[in-house]
Structure formats: C-alpha cells, structure tokens
Amino acid sequence: MKLGANYLGNNECEFTVWAPLLKEVAVEIVAPEKRLLPMEKDDLGYWKVREKNITPDTLYWYQLEGEKKRPDPASHFQPKGVHDPSQVIDHSTYTWQDQDWKNIPFPDWIIYELHVGTFTPEGTFEAIIARLPDLKELGVNVIEIMPVAQFPGARNWGYDGVYPYAVQNSYGGPNGLKKLVDACHQQGLAVILDVVYNHLGPEGNYVSDFGPYFTLTYNTPWGTAVNFDDAHSYGVRNFVIENAIYWLGEYHFDGLRLDAIHAIYDLGAKHILAELAEAVEVFSQQQERPLYLIAESDLNDVKVINPQELGGHGIQAQWSDDFHHCVHTLVTQESIGYYQDFGQCQQLAKVLQEGFAYTWNYSPSRRRYHGNYAGDRPPYQLVVCIQNHDQVGNRMLGERLSHLTSFDALKLAAATLLLSPFIPLLFMGEEYGEDAPFLYFIDHSDPNLIKAVREGRKAEFEEFHAEGEPPDADSIETFKKSTLNWQSRKEGKHKVLWEFYRELIRLRQEIPALTQREQYNSKISFLEDEKIISVYRWSADSEVIYLLNFNGKEVDYSLVIPSGNWQKRIDSSESQWQGSGSKLPQSLSQSQSLNLSPYTAVLYQKA
C-alpha cells in the first residue's frame, strides 16, 4: 500500500487516505481544473480512487463529509505551506546516479548532524552540496539531516512538522532533497534523516479530522501522544511504517534517526519499534543494501537495541546521553538540572567500559532508579556526542561548547569522543569551534501560538535560574544568528581545531585497536581527585593507551604500561595544536611518571 497520491504514469494517479470513522471522503482537484472525485472505502477504513487525466503537479484537497477541505496527511509536497492544497509528485522524473552505492558498514560510521536552514546562508538542500568535499576531507562519512517534513513557515528546527511525507518547500522540495542525497552517495557519504513519530506540531495539524491518530491515554512533553496501541491504532502504525519505507525508498536514505522514542508509548504485544525494525529489514533485503534505524532515547534501556529473539525491539543503535552529560560536566563544571547527576570521572570511565553511567542506580534529578546494563552489546550500537542540536539549542542563549569552556578543554572533549569505541556524532560547526550560537527559532502564523512559545520558553529557563530574556524565537534575526560562519574554519584556532578533529578521525580509522568496535576490548582506570582517566584498548595485533586529564591544573600521573616500544601519536598540549607545550616524552618503554598539562589528551600506540 502507498498512502497519499501515488502517481502511476501516463497521467494516472491513485489516491489513498485512511479515515476509518468517516462516511464520505472525496478528492477535490483544485488545479489545473476543478473537479470532485468520490472515493470508496474498504473494510479497514482506507478510502481509494484511481483516476486518469491527473498530471504531475496537480493540486488537491480531501473533502471530508462533504464539508471540510483538508490537505493530504500523506502529502508528498505542500508547495504553499501547511494550510494549502497538496501536490501530486511524479517521483520517477528524477534520474538517480547512485546505482553502485551500497552504504557504509555501520561500525565505521562517523555522523555529522546538520540543520538545512542554517548550515549555509542560502538554507537549501542544493547549497549543502558544495560543502560535501570539506566534510569528506574532515573524515566524517555520514550526514544526519534534521527533520525536513513540512513545517509552518520557512524556518524551524523541524520537530514541529505536520506532514511526515512532504519535503519542506523552503528548503527546495522533493527534487532538491534527492539531488543532495544523490550527491552524497556519489562522494562516498551516507545520509540519514531525522524523523519524528512521537508527535506532530501544533500548526497545520489536521490529521485528527481524518481519524484517531492520537490517544488520550498518554501525554508527551509536546501534547497528546500518537495512538500506537489504542482503538484503530493499526492505521496509525501503518502510516508510520509506510513513512519510513517511503524515505528509504523514494529518497534513498541509508537510515533514519527516530526522535525521542521514550515518548512513543505502546503496550501492545508487538511494540511499534519492533514492527518498524522488521519492516525496514525486509525492505533492506529487497534493496540489497543495509538500512539502519537509530533511536534517540534517554531510557538507558538495552531492550531498544537487543535483537527481537532476546525480547528487544531490534533497533540497530541508540543514543547514550550519559556520555554527553559526563563529558559536558567535566569540562564545564555545570551542575544544574540533569547535570546534577554527573561530574565524576568514575561515571565517564563506566560509560567508556559499558555504555551507560546509570544502570539501575539512583538518579538524583529523576529521583528514582534509572537504566540497565548494556555492556554485553557491541559498543557500535551506541551513538554518542559532546554536542548536538538539543544540548546546544535548548540552552537559553544557544551556547555551544566553545562558548562554555577553554580551547584546551574543547580538544580534550573531542579526543574523548573520537577515541571512544562508540559511534560518534558531531554537530555542525563543532569541528572548528563555531562562534555562532544555535538558537531555538520558529515561523508560526498564529499569534496566539507565537505568544505561547515565548511564554513557555521564558518559564522553562526560569526553572533553571537563567538570567535575562530568551531570544525571540519568532524573530528572523534569531534564525540568522544561528547560521554557520563557515569561512572561519580556515582561520586561527578554528583551523587548528578542525585539523585536530581530522587527525583524531584519521587515527580512529587507521589504528586497529581503535577500529575494533565489536567488543569492549579495554581496561579503564581513573583517579577521581586528580580527574584523570586512563584507557588501554587492544585488538589482535594492536594496542593503544590514552590519557584524559580533566583537571584544570598540571598533574603527575604514574602510568603503568605493558612492556614494549610505545610511540606518541597525538598530544593535545603540543604547540602544533596551540597547547601550552608538552612535557610528555615521544616514546615510552616502561611504566613511568608523566606530567600532564591541564585539560590534555594524549595517545600512545605500541609499535
């Protein structure tokens, strides 16, 4: 089944919409000439009509009960926005050039998250293409695009989307997105899309006129929950599964990032995530290339990634927010909100050894026990970061890590990320210490909704004792301030940091002890008072030791190493990286005392 307007060629189109409780549904053609097409309903509540003389780019509504006119919930394009007619799209007109593309092995992924509207001054899909060689040179191999499902207005983070199948018109529409994905594949980059299945945005959200897409049984931070287990939930589940296959098929995405799955509620015998994973696996086999799902989750629950034969959902990977929170608190000393749960080297050492810091131990911010053990799953099943759109943009002033800590601490955080056994995610601009903030912005047309957003943001930050007023989310200036200063990556400390990231990525991809991410082949120790973590990692024929000094002062550390000839590969305190100057030897042959500069990362490899 294909929902929405499925163009069949030769000016023929089949329209399909789910509306199980309605008694009359019709397609109203708006342009090029007006006419009404009555639809027939099947036993599951799907209304269909196949019609000739429907050309690509035809505009249409659904007419409900002879009265309401509504855009298609599965619209493939909303050329004039969320309140206007949907448009028929002929997906066959785009000629793909990625026939030889087979995706990248998942354990090798290095993800780069970007927001289309602020990644370039133009704010379009096609404008990104010119920057792909720079990302390739950096060493990242996967681009994660923040949501592009049609949202109100021209600027938004994307999580207020209301047409999950429609490509945002202000970004360049369907063809613009296809050109970007195609270009990525031709340059050896995989692409994943951030999709939102836990809620829809408030403006232009008309799906409840069609059927019970929501349930009052649960609530999310963004309002009423999506109906995945209540009456008529079969149609909602199919809507989501078809949507996932649509993005992977029509747009050739290599995977999907599932937003906030902890706000997806389903007490049925088969969880929607498990059903989704099954469907994607079948489609992956049909396409003869691997396709992946990554769950953003703050549950610390290994059930998300466990295979279904072990009672899990079978999702390829999930986030470990604990990694971010550990690193962030160690380099910034922040302790407000959920950061109060972190700040110890012991916690970061635990994350590096088994994935989570909270594995059914007490969480002060939650005031309950939290998480379970993930150390028996491969490390590549966890995605980690030191910055992302949430952790930056949900701050009142949108401060990046470069605004909150020193240059030495930025390098230390980068090394902690890229030398870890997990899948790393970089947030656009992080790699060169972008100076522009990433602020929260919207472009709603409803004055009451804009007012509610402003008041909600203000109340949220008052709870965190933030001083001053949050930037106006509806102002275009707030949006413009968030645009990357891309040219700065070749200047001063920005250039040094960019080269440091590139070198870390190169080492991550070349040293066998670091490329081994199937198992936790590591021994980790820490000194809490000195704020030092020592990591020894190995594979069959390769060994490395790296030290992470989170202390703001010099520290003497007695390093115990296996016998052999150990050569220094990278040292963030060296002048090459604009450090204060290293006091560490180039080679080691036995255990010895080392003097570590403040906020230093150093890696030795056994020759």
Q: Which residues pair with 535 in a beta bridge?
A: 524, 546
- Does residue 468 belong to any structural domain of this protein? no
- Does residue 538 belong to any structural domain of this protein? yes
Query: Would you state the pLDDT for residue 589?
Result: 84
pLDDT tens, 196-251? Answer: 999 999 999 999 999 999 999 999 988 899 999 999 999 999 999 999 999 999 99
Residue 393 is assigned to a ligand binding site: yes
**Residue 40 catalytic?**
no
360: alpha, beta or left, given left = phi > 0 and alpha = psi -120 to 50?
Answer: left
Query: Would you state the pLDDT for residue 159?
Result: 96
pLDDT tens, 15-70? Answer: 999 999 999 999 999 999 999 999 999 999 999 999 999 999 999 999 999 999 99
Cβ-Cβ contacts under 8 Å for 9 (sequence gap 6 or more): 90, 92
Residue 323 is assigned to a ligand binding site: yes
Query: Would you state the pLDDT for residue 466?
Result: 64
Phi, then psi, of 84 in degrees rounded to 5: -110, 175
pLDDT tens, 539-580? Answer: 999 999 999 999 999 999 999 999 999 999 999 999 999 999
- Does residue 80 belong to any structural domain of this protein? yes
Q: Does residue 261 register a pLDDT over 90?
A: yes
Classified as helix, coil or strand, 522 is strand
Mean pLDDT of 279-296: 98
Query: Would you state the pLDDT for residue 468?
Result: 79
Residue 91 is assigned to a ligand binding site: no
pLDDT tens, 585-602? Answer: 999 988 899 999 999 999
Query: Would you state the pLDDT for residue 223?
Result: 83
What are the distances in angstroms from CA 383 to CA 142, 183, 282, 422? 13, 25, 24, 6
Q: Which of the listed residues 50, 74, 92 is the one where a domain comes to its end?
A: 92
CB 234 within 8 A of CB 44: yes
Q: Prior bond to 32 cis, omega within 30? A: yes
Query: Would you state the pLDDT for residue 463?
Result: 61
Number of domains in the chain: 2
pLDDT tens, 444-482? Answer: 999 999 999 988 888 877 765 567 789 999 999 999 999
Query: Would you state the pLDDT for residue 116?
Result: 98
CB 584 within 8 A of CB 573: yes
- Does residue 30 belong to any structural domain of this protein? yes
pLDDT tens, 472-524? Answer: 999 999 999 999 999 999 999 999 999 999 999 999 999 999 999 999 999 99
What are the distances in angstroms from CA 289 to CA 99, 254, 256, 306? 11, 9, 14, 21
Give the structural domain span for 591. Answer: 522-606
Burial profile 551-589: b = 16 or more Cβ within 10 angstroms, e = fewer: beeebebebebeeeebebbbbbbbeebbbeebebeeebe
Residue 321 is assigned to a ligand binding site: yes
- Does residue 303 belong to any structural domain of this protein? no
CATH number of the domain to which 555 belongs: 2.60.40.1180
- Does residue 387 belong to any structural domain of this protein? no
Query: Would you state the pLDDT for residue 461?
Result: 78
Q: Which of the listed residues 44, 63, 92 is the one where a domain comes to its end?
A: 92
CB 412 within 8 A of CB 371: no
Mean pLDDT for the chain? Answer: 96
- Does residue 146 belong to any structural domain of this protein? no
- Does residue 577 belong to any structural domain of this protein? yes
Given the residues 259, 434, 443, 474, the one annotated as active site: 259
CATH number of the domain to which 65 belongs: 2.60.40.10
**Residue 571 catalytic?**
no
CB 111 within 8 A of CB 144: yes
Residue 199 is assigned to a ligand binding site: no
Given the residues 296, 341, 430, 431, the one annotated as active site: 296
Residues 420, 152: Cα–Cα separation, whole Å: 39
Q: Which of the listed residues 76, 92, 108 is the one where a domain comes to its end?
A: 92
Residue 301 is assigned to a ligand binding site: no
Is residue 170 very low, low, confident or very high in pLDDT (cuts 50, 70, 90)?
A: very high
**Structure-block tokens of residue 89:** 């799209």
Query: Would you state the pLDDT for residue 590?
Result: 87
Mean pLDDT of 342-364: 98
Residue 472 is assigned to a ligand binding site: no
Of the chain, the percentage scoring pLDDT greater than 70 comes to 99
In terms of pTM, does the model score above 0.95? Answer: yes
